[in-house]
Amino acid sequence: MRFIVKGARPLKGDITVSGSKNAALPIIAATLLSEEEFTISNIPDIQDVRTLLEIMRHLGSQFTFDDNTLKICTPAIRTTDIPKEMVKTMRASILLVGPLLARAKQIRIGYPGGCVLGKRPVDTHLDALRELGVRVREDGDMIFLDSGDAKAGKVILKEISVTATENLLMFASGLTEETEIRLAAQEPHVQDLCRFLIAMGVFVNGVGTHVVTVRGGGVLRGTEHRVVSDYLEVGTMAIAAAATCGDVTIHDVHRHDLDALWQKMCEAGIIIDFDKEHQVRVRGVKSMDSIAKVDTGIFPKFPTDLQAPFMVMLTQANGVSKVFETLFEGRLNYLFELEKLGARFEFLNPHQAIILGPTPLYGAPIASCDIRAGAGMIIAALIAEGTTEVSNINYIDRGYEALDEKFRQLGAYIVRSQSPEDLPNEQRSLHQMEDRERSGELRPEVPVSF
């Protein structure tokens, strides 16, 4: 699968973002804590959600998933054995450890896979669970865990890890007495999981801080919940609007989730308006300023997941911009794909690089390196003169719901393809979009299907 994009045109119009992938996955896993039914809305219909649901079916869950709403219950845990083949494509499968240990007291799971972002070990998870008395045995590419002797207590995480925090929150929900998690992650999706657990009947204190206490052990009930909107998709759309010198209003926004991004965008001279609650209007400028330093970090610092799209945007800025990716040593690899379009950069080390701008970009075949770099490649294609082919879009589909359709709503020329033989049809579709727009038949806010 690939996207064919004809760029060099501004994005304009209104768009509403989908629910958060990073919130939906742990919330779906948390339904294993109870045998009652849950109704969860605003779930993005993406590959990672579908993959997790298939694993849940293997464990004994029964569900329907239609129109972004999931109805799910797990009357009984059928098995606690999750083969490595089921988890090799998605690192978030590690989130099943906490709820299964809480309810079934054991789990056998393969080491999870996912995007290639350098070393992403699960040691933080395992060491934290050991502190609460969980027995852990590693055997090759499988992990065996048993929580029969586990007790509530205090855990200090080795690092501020989102998924380790989420696993502990879910596991502690099944323990009597109080568990204190220190150096807990505080991302918006972690907070959304906390709200879901509270609705189930778990006592959670310190939501949104680095010290969270959980008192579980009671009867956990089914509930209804709406997944929080995806602040990373908000950021992606905002960056795309600025990069194409467009004018886009984004809806279902929680503005303070992205304070670090808004600050950097304003520093670049981009116009950001928050005229209404849960809405932001982003207007690009013809002469964008470079950014002396963009340091990624844990929330609320600049998100690592927006680093690639943001640096793509800065190829159009005046001067030298520097990025320091503090979290993943493999996250700058997309720069070599960006270079194929004409971008100029200096790769200082696996964590640091400088972008030289402004640089005109020209269409060429490029590939997605991971979910967020894939979004960056689409933005690069939207900037570039001519036609760009973006391959490996399975990464993009794992993290974004119908991203191509949303860009089409904003007037982008982008089509999806399954094989190289489709190229004549894809080119014809792009030309048809141009003809329809010139005739007034196609308007940016109206989706186009092929």
For the annotated catalytic residues, the residue numbers are 115
**Sheet with 211-215, edge to edge strand ranges:** 154-156, 178-182, 211-215, 203-205
Spell out the residues 6+ positions from residue 353 whose beta carbon is closer than 8 angstroms to its own. Answer: 311, 322, 323, 332, 335, 345, 346, 347
Rounded to 5 degrees, what angle do the CA atoms 149, 155, 158 make? 120
69: its two tokens: 């709403």
Q: How far apart are CA 175 and CA 433, in angstroms?
A: 57
Helix (H, G, I), strand (E, B) or coil at 173: coil
C-alpha to C-alpha distance for 299 and 208, rounded to whole angstroms: 10
C-alpha span between 284 and 243 (Å, rounded): 7
Nearest CA to 50 out of 31, 35, 63, 37 is that of: 63
Strands 69-73 and 62-66: antiparallel
Q: Closest Cα to residue 102, out of 36, 165, 151, 173?
A: 173
8 Å CB contact between 5 and 412: yes
Supply the DSSP symbol for 19. Answer: B
Cβ atoms of 242 and 265 within 8 Å: the answer is yes
Q: How far apart are CA 272 and CA 283, in angstroms?
A: 7
Contacts of 364 (CB under 8 A, 6+ apart): 340, 341, 384, 388, 389
The residue type of 381 is: A
